[in-house]
Amino acid sequence: MNLNGKKIAILATHGFEQSELEVPRDRLKTAGATVDVVSLAAGEIKGWDKKDWGRPVKVDKTLDQAAAADYDAVILPGGQINPDLLRVEPKALKFIKDIFDAKKVIAAVCHAPWLLIETGIAKGRKMTSYKSIKTDVANAAATWQDAEVVVDQGVITSRNPGDLEAFSAKIAEEVREGRHTQRSAA
């Protein structure tokens, strides 16, 4: 899993599911990637760890400091709070859409497919998500599948923390493959 020279953004804010940010971040860093936590404001963001607030994570760059051109991929951790806060932030949606339009890798887990719905990326794709938003995904004209990882032209989705090892491995594989030039527009 050699990702030397690759740059990956993890877009998150308060209320991200702790493991859904930390596991991919740590696996991809171990593989040699530079991984930046990108958020709405500088400082730290606080995770949600199963049933209560978790540990803070340092923000490496704000959305004002980050550009899609700087990254090979974006990871969108779930939790209920984090993607719900981000899906009403125009800068966050633009960052995701810019990564997508550049035909780079997008990875969303748990409730984060809400962000793919909000940006129009979900439409016409095969996807998975946390089971409680299955109907949201289907209503966005995506085909929902119950699988630990679903990939559709560089758009990676997973269901929950139990899928994180497969999710992280698939992100590494897709980032190594590079841009998905055959990807259809959202």
* Positions marked catalytic: 110-111
Output helix, strand, coil percentages for the chain, rounded to the nearest 5: 35, 25, 40
Residue type (1 letter), 150: V
Asked whether the beta carbons of 99 and 128 are under 8 A apart, the reply is: no
Which residue bears the tokens 């990882």?
Answer: 149
| Whole-angstrom distance, CA of residue 153 vs CA of residue 141 | 16
Cα separations in angstroms, 77 against 2, 4, 5, 183: 22, 22, 23, 23
For the chain, state the CA radius of gyration.
Answer: 14
DSSP state of 2: -
Main-chain dihedrals φ then ψ at residue 102, nearest 5 degrees: -85, 5
